[in-house]
Every structure is written in structure tokens, then in C-alpha cells.
């Protein structure tokens, strides 16, 4: 070491200040807008706080027992789970089917395959709220093309968005419509990454037909992609909000109420911050499990290479 | 041979049917946006209007606040992206290319923050903003999204692949670390920046949740919030202009997607990591 110890210290200080200058601001806003709010929402979930109220009292787990114990609270949870349970298999399954079809089409009609891929991806890029308004007109009781077609075919027109038994399935259909293209893109990337030699090897081993090729090569090789797609679809489905807020506001009679919509309504329409915080925490717990699973899958994918 | 030809036809047919289902709401939206009033309310099925009625677009652009919604959307999305990059890029550079005390802690925070969906932080942020009196402002729409764990993660990945020699050489040339970040590292990170920008712009142009909470002033409405104001005001006979407004609001991102498909798909697929 040349230089004086005092000077070396100054350089070390300078370096530390530089690190603070580079990494400090981002860390600070992260603490301020992410970690602090998470701590606050966790604390609030044990209180009866209402926006604008002068004070609050501790009520222990009362908010949680209200959420799990009341018909309305349970309905929001069950509706969300039903929605997720419909969207995941159909969106992932259809995404895979479309990807397989388009991947094979690449061999004999690349241009057509590209065009179809663009079309399928369109809903992912489009503004969901504006498209929900469009869906509202598609499903309109009298002016919508769906009911007009049904009427022309002699079938009974339905109230797709105001029939209690139907509304959740209608929203799930829109959810599937919106996410199939996204899953298709992820699956296509997975398909491209499968080495063609594997198919040749499978043929030598006697797995020549389409189905046996799929089960012996494609499906196992797509395993990590499929897991990833499943978790991404699940996390997105759990957050369903835009379509509910635009098309049904949780109705009719809470038949399409979901966790995030209930959190919005209780918190920001009825201003029950304490109860809404408990809904938030339950929603957070569901997503945390899924996201941690996703992290592990991403890690595994990296390790495969 | 015959069998494979048959399979090919069948799968093509199914793919066309699926594409038609995907296109249905787009087609109906365009159809209603271009239909004259009497055709919208006619009970017979007609996808193609008898003539193109541009009047709906004229009404949407001149008699409603749709241009204002677009402007608000632009301000909010650009503001969010600018601040995100301003904060995330130096931090990711430090995480990737510098050794400092607390580096592991900061990166741990980034990973932990990736686990938190925005909805979870909404109530406390709303409370804080209400206390500070900044609800109903552009600031309220932009500020909560400035910290971006996903952005830091993405840029860090990119910077850690760059050779350390590159930055050492710049230091020898007398560049300050700040100058290295913005004049060397950031320009090199354009591919990551593009992917991130597409993800961020799409997410916030389309967001409804936070604008619904943070603003009650229609003059601050972003496009999704705005179109709901428009829809809730009209009593059911302005369907044409409403659909025209939906077309106008959806158009910027859809056109951008059609022009830069590969980049868009990559950017949005990368966003999946964020969950």
C-alpha cells in the first residue's frame, strides 16, 4: 500500500458513499413503498380501523374469522378458487394445444403459423378494461352477437353477466380468452428448445406416430415449461380484478365476488381498512405459496441448462 | 400420407376456429364502432357495417374526455418508467459490478420484494397518501410504482454478464461511477431496457386497480379508468362512441405490438417471472 492510512480511509469512505449513492435510493423507495406497507397491512388486519376514524382498537383474529366464517367472506374465497380451477387447466391446455398446432404448421406454412400466433397473442397486449367493455357488448342481452346468434339458431338467449349461476363461468371464459396466447408463447419457446435428434431417436426406438412422439419426447421435455406456465397462470388468475370491476362489480348478489374485488370494495368503497387488510393477508398467503413454487421452478430450469 | 394430410387439415381447422373465438370481441368492437346508430340497435346479426360511420370516432374524440384520458395515460406511464429506470439502473449496476457491505442484504430485499403483489401494499399506501394530501394527483398515480424489484432483478442479470474489465477501463479513463452507469452500462443494457419498458408500459397503461383507488377526479383518469367513467355516464344509446373510445384506447399498445412483435412477446414473457 502506498499513500497515507488517512488517505486510504478517505478512499474507502468515498467508495462507501458511492455505493450508498448508487444503491441507496432504490433500496429506500423499496422499503418505503413495499416493506413498510406490508408490515402496516399485517398489523392493521388485527384492528377494526376504518379510514378517517380517529382511533382503532385491537380485535385479534376477528377480521379473519369474519372472512372465513361469514357467507360473504367464504363466497369471495370459494369464487376465486372456482375461477382459478377453471382458468388454469383450460388456459394451460389450450395454450399447449395451440402451440403444438402452430409449431407443426411452421414446417409447411410458416407465414400462416406466424399470423395465427400474432392473433392469439393479441388479447395479451390489448387493454383488458377496454376489451371487457367490448365483451359486455358481445354478451349484451339483446344487442350482443352471442345472444343474436342463439336467437337466430332458435336457442334461448342467456343473461351471461347477470345470471347468478352463469356469471363466474362467463368471467372465467374471458380470463381464458385473455391468457391462452401468453401460455402459447411460453410453450412455443419450450417446443423450439427440444433438440430434433430426440425425435429421430424416438423413431428408431419405434415411437413414430404422433401420439407416441408426444408422450415419449415432447411432454417430458416440456415438463419444466409446463410447471412454469401453470404457476404463472395461477398467480394471474388469483389476481382477477379488471373484468370483475368492469363487468359485474362482484354481482349479481356477490355471485362473482373475488378476493381482490372484495378487498377493493371493503377497503376503498366501505373504507373498512381493518377487514380489507385481513382479506389482503389471505390473498397474499395464497400468492406467496404460488410465487415461492414459481421461484423454485425457475431455479430448476436454470439448473437444467 | 392421407392420414397425415387429414390430421393437418383438422388441426388447421381447429386453429382457425380458435383464432376466430379470440378475434370475436375485437371484431364486434370494431363493428359497433363503425356502425351507424340504427344498425347497432337492429336485432339482425351483421358483422360488417353497411357503411363506415366515422362519426362515432368524431364524437369520442371531440365530445368526450377520451383525448384527456390518453394524455393522462401517457404522463403516468412515462413518469413511472422514467423514475423506475432512474432508481433501478444504478442499484442493479452496484449489485452486479461492485462489492460492498450490505450487497447481499439489498439483493435479498429485491428477491423478497418480488414476492409482494402490488394489491398487498395498496391500503397502507392509500392511507399514507391521504395523510400527505397527495391523492388525486399524477404523483399519487406514479409514486407507488417507482420501486421495481423486477426491474432491478432484470438489469442486474444483464449487468452481471458484462465483463468487469470494461468498467475498470472506464475507471482508468477517469469516469466517475455515475458516469459509468449512465454512459456505459445503461446504453449497453438497451435490450434489457426495451424488454422492461414494454412490460412496464403495458402493465401501467392497462392498470385499473390503483387508478380506481388513488383518484376520484375524472380529469386525472387514465384510459381504463376513463372508459369506465364514459360507460357509466352514457345511458345505453351511445354504444357507437363508447366502442370507438375502446378502440382508441386499445389501439396504441396493439399497434405497437403489431409493429414490434418479437420484442413485445419477449418483454411480456419476461414479465411472467414477476408473477
pLDDT given at position A57 = 84
Taking only residues 142 to 171 of chain B, the set having a beta carbon closer than 8 angstroms to any beta carbon of chain A reads 143-144, 146-147, 149, 152
Q: How confident is the model at residue A305 (pLDDT cuts 50, 70, 90)?
A: very low
B266 touches chain A (CB under 8 A): no
Question: Which chain B residues are closer than 8 Å to A36 by Cβ?
Answer: 124
Q: Tens digits of per-residue pLDDT, A14-70?
A: 888 888 888 889 999 999 999 999 999 999 999 988 888 888 888 888 889 988 989
pLDDT given at position A4 = 56
Q: Tens digits of per-residue pLDDT, A131-184?
A: 999 999 899 888 888 888 888 888 888 888 888 889 999 999 999 999 999 999
Rounded (10°) angle between helices A5-30 and B66-97: 150
Taking only residues 190 to 229 of chain B, the set having a beta carbon closer than 8 angstroms to any beta carbon of chain A reads 202, 205-206, 208-209, 212-213, 223-224, 227-228
CB spacing of A120 vs B21 below 8 angstroms: no
Hey, what CATH topology would domain B63-274 get? Answer: MetI-like fold (1.10.3720)
For residue A244, give the C-alpha cell: 370483475
What chain B residue is nearest to A40 in terms of C-alpha separation? B124
pLDDT given at position B23 = 93
pLDDT given at position A123 = 93
A50 touches chain B (CB under 8 A): no
Q: Mean pLDDT, consecutive 10-residue segments, chain B of 275 residues?
A: 77 92 92 83 75 82 88 95 95 89 90 90 93 92 94 91 87 87 91 89 92 92 91 78 91 90 80 58
A241 touches chain B (CB under 8 A): yes
pLDDT given at position A300 = 65
Of the partner residues A33, A125, A126, the one whose CB lies closest to the CB of residue B146 = A33
B45: left (phi over 0), alpha (psi -120 to 50) or beta: beta
For residue A243, give the C-alpha cell: 373484468
Mutate which: B9, B12, B25, B254, vs A, most A CBs within 10 A: B25
Residues A254-267: what's their mean pLDDT? 92
For residue B235, give the C-alpha cell: 345511458
B22 touches chain A (CB under 8 A): yes
CA distance B14 to chain A (A): 9
Q: How confident is the model at residue A2 (pLDDT cuts 50, 70, 90)?
A: very low
pLDDT given at position A304 = 45
Close Cβ partners of A30 (under 8 Å, ≥ 6 residues apart) = B109, B110, B113, B147, B149
For residue A28, give the C-alpha cell: 429506500
CB spacing of A37 vs B29 below 8 angstroms: no
Of the partner residues B91, B109, B243, the one whose CB lies closest to the CB of residue A22 = B91
**Structural domain spans, chain B:** 2-40+48-53, 63-274
| DSSP states of A122-168 | HHHHS-HHHHHHHHHHHT-TTTSHHHHHHHHTTPPP--TTT-TTTHH
What chain A residue is nearest to B231 in terms of C-alpha separation? A133
3-state class (DSSP) for residue A33: helix
Taking only residues 30 to 49 of chain A, the set having a beta carbon closer than 8 angstroms to any beta carbon of chain B reads 30-38, 40-41, 44
**Structural domain spans, chain A:** 66-304
- Identify the CA nearest to A80 among candidates A270, A226, A222, A259: A259
Q: Tens digits of per-residue pLDDT, A198-217?
A: 888 877 777 667 778 888 88
Question: Which chain A residues are closer than 8 Å to B121 by Cβ?
Answer: 33-34, 37-38, 41
Q: How confident is the model at residue A294 (pLDDT cuts 50, 70, 90)?
A: confident
CB spacing of A125 vs B224 below 8 angstroms: no
CB spacing of B124 vs A44 below 8 angstroms: yes
pLDDT given at position A298 = 66
pLDDT given at position A142 = 81
Rg (CA), chain B: 24
Q: Quick check: A1 pLDDT over 50?
A: no
CATH 1.25.40.10 fits A66-304, yes or no: no
CB spacing of B98 vs A123 below 8 angstroms: no
SS3 letters across chain B: CHHHHHHHHHHHHHHHHHHHHHHHHHHHHHHHHHCCHHHHCCCCCCCCCCCCCCHHHHHHHHCCCHHHHHHHHHHHHHHHHHHHHHHHHHHHHHHHHCCCCCHHHHHHHHHHHHCCCHHHHHHHHHHHHHHHCCCCCHHHHHHHHCCCHHHHHHHHHHHHCCCHHHHHHHHHCCCCHHHHHHHHHHHHCHHHHHHHHHHHHHHHHHCCHHHHHHCCCHHHCCHHHHHHHHHHHCCCCCHHHHHHHHHHHHHHHHHHHHHCHHHHHHHHHHHHHHC
Mutate which: A19, A119, A214, vs B, most B CBs within 10 A: A19
Amino acid at each position: 500500500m502506498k499513500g497515507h492510512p488517512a488517505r486510504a480511509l478517505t478512499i474507502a469512505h468515498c467508495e462507501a458513499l458511492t455505493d450508498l449513492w448508487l444503491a441507496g435510493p432504490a433500496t429506500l423507495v423499496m422499503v418505503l413503498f413495499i416493506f413498510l406497507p406490508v408490515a402496516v397491512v399485517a398489523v392493521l388486519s388485527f384492528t377494526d380501523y376504518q379510514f378517517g376514524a380517529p382511533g382503532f382498537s385491537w380485535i385479534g383474529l376477528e377480521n379473519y374469522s369474519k372472512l372465513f366464517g361469514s357467507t360473504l367472506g367464504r363466497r369471495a374465497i370459494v369464487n376465486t378458487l372456482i375461477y382459478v380451477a377453471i382458468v388454469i387447466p383450460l388456459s394451460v391446455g389450450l395454450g399447449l394445444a395451440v402451440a403444438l398446432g402452430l409449431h407443426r404448421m411452421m414446417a409447411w406454412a410458416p407465414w400462416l403459423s406466424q399470423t395465427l400466433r400474432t392473433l392469439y397473442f393479441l388479447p395479451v397486449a390489448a387493454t383488458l378494461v377496454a376489451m371487457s367493455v367490448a365483451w359486455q357488448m358481445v354478451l349484451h342481452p339483446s344487442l350482443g352477437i352471442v345472444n343474436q346468434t342463439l336467437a337466430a339458431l332458435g336457442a334461448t338467449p342467456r343473461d351471461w353477466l347477470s345470471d347468478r349461476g352463469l356469471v363466474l363461468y362467463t368471467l372465467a371464459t374471458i380470463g381464458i380468452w385473455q391468457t391462452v396466447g401468453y401460455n402459447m408463447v411460453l410453450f412455443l419457446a419450450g417446443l423450439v428448445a427440444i433438440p430434433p435428434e430426440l425425435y429421430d431417436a424416438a423413431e428408431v426406438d419405434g415411437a413414430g406416430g404422433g401420439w407416441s412422439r408426444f408422450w415419449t419426447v415432447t411432454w417430458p421435455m416440456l415438463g419444466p415449461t409446463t410447471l412454469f406456465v401453470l404457476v404463472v397462470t395461477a398467480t394471474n388468475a388469483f389476481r382477477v380484478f379488471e373484468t370483475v370491476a368492469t363487468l359485474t362489480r362482484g354481482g349479481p348478489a356477490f355471485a362473482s365476488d373475488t378476493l381482490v374485488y372484495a378487498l377493493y370494495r371493503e377497503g376503498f368503497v366501505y373504507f373498512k381498512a381493518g377487514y380489507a387488510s385481513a382479506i389482503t393477508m389471505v390473498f397474499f398467503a395464497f400468492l406467496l405459496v404460488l410465487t415461492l413454487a414459481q421461484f423454485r421452478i425457475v431455479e430448476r430450469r436454470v439448473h437444467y441448462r | 400420407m392421407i392420414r397425415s394430410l387429414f390430421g393437418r387439415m383438422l388441426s388447421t381447422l381447429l386453429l382457425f376456429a380458435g383464432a376466430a373465438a379470440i378475434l370475436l370481441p375485437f371484431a364486434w368492437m370494431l363493428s359497433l364502432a363503425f356502425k351507424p346508430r340504427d344498425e347497432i340497435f337492429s336485432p339482425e346479426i351483421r358483422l360488417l357495417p353497411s357503411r363506415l360511420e366515422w362519426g362515432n370516432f368524431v364524437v369520442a374524440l371531440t365530445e368526450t374526455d377520451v383525448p384527456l384520458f390518453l394524455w393522462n395515460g401517457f404522463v403516468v406511464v412515462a413518469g413511472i418508467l422514467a423514475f423506475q429506470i432512474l432508481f433501478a439502473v444504478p442499484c442493479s449496476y452496484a449489485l452486479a459490478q461492485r462489492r460492498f457491505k450490505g450487497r447481499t442484504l439489498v439483493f435479498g430485499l429485491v428477491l423478497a420484494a418480488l414476492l409482494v403483489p402490488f394489491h398487498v401494499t395498496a391500503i397502507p399506501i392509500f392511507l399514507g397518501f391521504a395523510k400527505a394530501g397527495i391523492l388525486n394527483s399524477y404523483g399519487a398515480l406514479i409514486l407507488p410504482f417507482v420501486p421495481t424489484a423486477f426491474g432491478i432483478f432484470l438489469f442486474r442479470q444483464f449487468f452481471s454478464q458484462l465483463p468487469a474489465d470494461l468498467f475498470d477501463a472506464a475507471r482508468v479513463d477517469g469516469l466517475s461511477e455515475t458516469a459509468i452507469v449512465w454512459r456505459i452500462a445503461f446504453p449497453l443494457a438497451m435490450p434489457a431496457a426495451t424488454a422492461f419498458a414494454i412490460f412496464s408500459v403495458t402493465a401501467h397503461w392497462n392498470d385499473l386497480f390503483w387508478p380506481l383507488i388513488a383518484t376520484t377526479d375524472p380529469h386525472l383518469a387514465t384510459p381504463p379508468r376513463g372508459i369506465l367513467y364514459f360507460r357509466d355516464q352514457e345511458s345505453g344509446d351511445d354504444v357507437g362512441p363508447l366502442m370507438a373510445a375502446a378502440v382508441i384506447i386499445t389501439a396504441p399498445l396493439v399497434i405497437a405490438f403489431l409493429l414490434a412483435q418479437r420484442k413485445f412477446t419477449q418483454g411480456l414473457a419476461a414479465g411472467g417471472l414477476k408473477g
